[in-house]
Amino acid sequence: MAGIEVSAAVAQLQNEGAYAVLAAATALEKQGKDIVHFEIGQPDYPTPKHVVDAGIEALTTGKTTYCNPSGTGDIKQAIAQHVSDTRGIDVTEDMVVVGPGCKPGLFFATMALVEKGDEVICPDPGFPTYANMIKVVGGVIVPVGLNADCSSFDMAALAAAVTPKTRVLILNSPSNPTGGVMPKADLDAIAVLAKANPRMWIFSDEIYARLVFDGQSIAPSYMSSARDHGVLDRAMMFDGFSKTYCMTGWRLGWAVMPPPLAERIHLLMVHSLGCTANFTQSAGVAALTGPQYAVDEMIQEYQRRRDYVIGRLNAMPGVTCATPKGAFYAFPNVEGTGMGCRELSEILLNTAGVAVLPGTDFGDKGEGHIRISYVRNMDILKEGLDRIEKCLVDLKK
C-alpha cells in the first residue's frame, strides 16, 4: 500500500532480521531449494507435557474470559516467588506485570520513562527491539560496544557514554546475539554507575537467564547487584517462558519493577492489550511450580550442541568463535573470510542453503560476525555446518 503517510515514529521502524531472513529462506524453499535454518531462536523441544496439560485444563474449565490486565493473582504469586528465589530479592505481587511475551513490557516501560531527547544506552550488537522501541518514543539511541569475547560491555566505553541525559541503560545477559554472560563484577559496576546517576534506570533483559552452561544454574542477575548497592528502586527485570519452557507461541512473559511504576504499566496494558490470555497464565504457573527436569535435560543438550558447533566453527577457514556461556547462539567472527557479514550471509543462504543472520542485523558493531542459532538437532547442525565449511573452502580456492 505505497503512498500511505504514517507517523515519523512508525516510519523509522525496521523489521527484526530473523523474520526477514526466514521469509527469504522460505521463499527459496517454495522454489524447491533445501535450506538449513540457523536464523531463528526457536527451541526445537516441545512445551513440557505438564504445562500443556495445565493449559488444556484451563481451557476446558472456562478460563477463556477477561482477567486482570497485568496478570492473574496465581501467576503473579508464582512469578514473585520464582524471582525471589532465583534473584535473591524480595518480590511482591504488586511488583509483577504479566504480558503476552517480554516485548510489551520492554515497550511499555520505555514509554513510561523515556521522553523525547532522553538518551538510552543499549548493547551493540544487541536485540533489535531495543533500538526500535527507543525510536518510537523519540529517545536517542546510544550504542555501546561489547568486549573482545562479546560477553559484556566494554566497561570503559560504557562509563564514558553516560551523560546527564541518560535515562535508561539496557542490559541483556545472557545475550542475544552473542550468548555472552555478564560477570557479577560488571553488574556490580553498573549498579555503582546507577547510584552515581540518580536519573538513570536499568532495564535488565534476563529472558535467557536459565539457559546457562558449565555447571551454572542461572546467570548472575542485575537485580541482586541493584539490591546490594541500594538502587533497586530504579531497576526493572524482564523474563518469560518462551525460551526456558519452549513456549514461544503461548506468548507469555513478565516484568518486575517498583510498584508505583507497575501501576502506570498496568494502565498501558488496560488501554492497549486488554489482558494476556487467561489460560496461558495457568500454563505459566504450572511451568514455574512444576517439575523442572525437562528444562535441565534441554540445557544439557544445548551445551552438547554448543560444544560441537564452536569446535566446528573454529576449524573453518577465516572463522574464529569464542565459547558462549549461555543462551543458544554462536556469534563467530568471520572477518578472516575477507567478506562483510551481510555479503557472506547472502552467499551462505543462496549458494550453501544455510540461513544465518548477519551481525549488522543487531547493530553496526556486529559487522564481521554472523549469528548461528544452534537449537536444531545434531544431524541438522552437522549438515548445516558441513555446508558452511564447504562453501568457505570453495570461496578460498
Q: Is pLDDT of 313 > 80?
A: yes
pLDDT greater than 70 at residue 42: yes
- Correct CATH for 8-46+293-396 of 3.30.200.20, 3.40.50.2300, 3.90.1150.10, 1.10.10.10: 3.90.1150.10
Task: Kindly tell me the burial class for residue 323, based on how many C-beta atoms sit within 10 Å of its own C-beta (0-12, 13-18, 19 or more).
Answer: middle
E strands present in the chain: 36-37, 96-99, 119-124, 140-145, 166-172, 201-205, 235-240, 253-256, 329-330, 354-355, 357-358, 370-373
> pLDDT band at residue 141, thresholds of 50, 70 and 90?
very high
Tell me the C-alpha distance between 203 and 106, whole Å.
8
Query: DSSP readout, 214-251?
Result: TT-SS---HHHHHHHTT-GGGEEEEEESTTTTT-GGG-
User: Is residue 3 predicted with pLDDT exceeding 90?
Assistant: no
Confidence category of residue 14, pLDDT binned at 50, 70, 90: confident
pLDDT above 70 as % of the chain: 99
* 104 has pLDDT over 90: yes
In this prediction, residue 19 has a pLDDT band, given cuts at 50, 70 and 90, of confident
**What CATH number should be reported for the domain whose range is 49-289?**
3.40.640.10
Please write the tens of the pLDDT for every residue from 335-349.
999 999 999 999 999
Asked if 384 contacts 354 with a C-beta cutoff of 8 angstroms, the reply is yes
With a cut of 50, say whether residue 264 has pLDDT above it: yes
Dihedral sign computed on CA atoms, order 327, 332, 333, 339: negative
Mean pLDDT value across residues 168-190: 98
pLDDT attached to residue 2: 60
Cβ proximity of 45 and 364 under 8 Å: no
Domain ranges of the chain: 8-46+293-396, 49-289
Going by C-alpha positions, the residue among 126, 212, 178 that lies closest to residue 322 is: 178
Do 97 and 71 meet the contact criterion of CB atoms below 8 Å apart?
Answer: yes
Q: How confident is the model at residue 246 (pLDDT cuts 50, 70, 90)?
A: very high
Predicted confidence at residue 15, as pLDDT, reads 83
More confident residue, 139 or 1: 139
Q: For cell 512473559, name the residue.
A: 253
pLDDT tens per residue, range 53-96: 999 999 999 999 999 999 999 999 999 999 999 999 999 999 99
Q: What is the pLDDT of residue 1?
A: 44
- Contact call for residues 182 and 152 (beta carbons, < 8 A): yes
Look at the block and give the residue holding cell 542459532.
Answer: 373
Q: Which three cell numbers stand for residue 136?
A: 518510537
Region 185-203: what's the mean pLDDT?
98
